[in-house]
Amino acid sequence: MINISKNNLQFVWGCDPSLQLELGWIFSLLKPARQVSLFHNEHFNSNRLHNVLIESGLPRLQRSLSLEMVAELKNQRIQRLHTLAKAGSFGIIHLSDEEGLDGDDLYPLLPEGTVVWRNFAYSRFKHFKECRIFPIGPRLEFIDSSLSHLSAVPASKRSFPWGFMGTLWSTGSRFLATSMFLRSLPQGFFHGSRGFSQGLPLAVYQQQLLRCSFALCPEGDRHLDTFRLYESLESGCIPLLVDQRQMASSIIGFNSPIPVFRQWNDALDWAQYLISKPQYMDKIQSSIQFWWQQKRLHLANTMLHTFTREVF
């Protein structure tokens, strides 16, 4: 159950919320007083609240999307924007735009000064002055979980030195990372699947992640920002990131204690060193957990401030 406390925000859904895995994350950050839908052009009432329109790039990820459907989706979006603009200023949360293509279409349509918070950083959006980045975050099951107390178990006391569970392609970063770690640290927990939604049940995935000291967090299908990274943080793991496209700073910032490596062999060497120094490993784990708690709090406050003060 998502706990909603009043703060004068109204979420206005311009997409189907049941398809958005970020649902629990954005509710945990902003806790709106109310939510309504414009996804199917239902009657809209501003309710004298600060409106935050939630748009999604998921439809653009459908490779078979016809030009006619693209045009229809754009027309529906223009109608939503027009309806909201008549009620006054509004902000936008933009989800699931992994390639940035949806942003290319959406942002030129917005009234000047509209604040946008989006997942997935791309340098070409820097010229949109009010476009800001927030993490994709963990899925709902990792927020306010009954298992959350296990995230405090020291890394040195966990059952597995490392873990990776997810889709495994025959080439690329995931295959390279898991091959290296399996060869050098075979005691780790590994479960590779051949396709999306074919892996472990989410509850099992969460339980196993809570038993891992390190979590391998290779880039996703299109971007370094992944649910895996933040679910590792929620589980108290030490994430291992390899960034070869200079994306990490836009995701975790420049002062994060999360280690970022150029190559997976560097990540492996560092993990092996920490395993040999259990007290130091636990200290690193604690600093990462504290940083993540503070980052979540700061992000929530910043987003709320921009939606309730800067926009209105």
Same domain, residue pair 99 and 158? no
**Distance of alpha carbon 6 from alpha carbon 34, whole angstroms:** 8
- Indicate the helix (H) or strand (E) that contains 97: none
Residue of 5, 111, 11 whose CA lies nearest to 51: 11
Q: Can you tell me the mean pLDDT for 230-251? A: 92
What pLDDT does residue 279 have? 98
Neighbours of 149 (CB within 10 A): 10
| CATH number of the domain to which 43 belongs | 3.40.50
pTM: 0.91
Same domain, residue pair 145 and 123? no
Determine which of 13-27, 103-117, 188-202, 221-235 has the lowest per-residue pLDDT on average: 188-202
Same domain, residue pair 29 and 164? no
305 domain residue, yes or no:
no
Task: Tell me the CB-side half-sphere exposure of residue 232, using CA atoms within 13 A.
Answer: 26
Chain segment 194-236, per-residue pLDDT in tens: 766 667 899 999 999 999 999 999 988 778 899 999 999 999 9
222 domain residue, yes or no:
yes
**Structural domain boundaries enclosing 76:** 9-134
* Helices and strands, counts by H and E, the chain: 9, 11
What pLDDT does residue 47 have? 66
Same domain, residue pair 171 and 240? yes
What pLDDT does residue 4 have? 39
What pLDDT does residue 170 have? 67
What pLDDT does residue 21 have? 94
- The residue whose two tokens read 């979540």 is 296
Chain segment 39-72, per-residue pLDDT in tens: 665 566 766 789 999 999 998 877 777 888 888 9
Q: How many domains does the chain have?
A: 2
**What letter would DSSP give residue 306?**
I
Per-residue tokens: 97: 């735009």
Same domain, residue pair 220 and 103? no
Q: Can you tell me the mean pLDDT for 113-142? A: 93
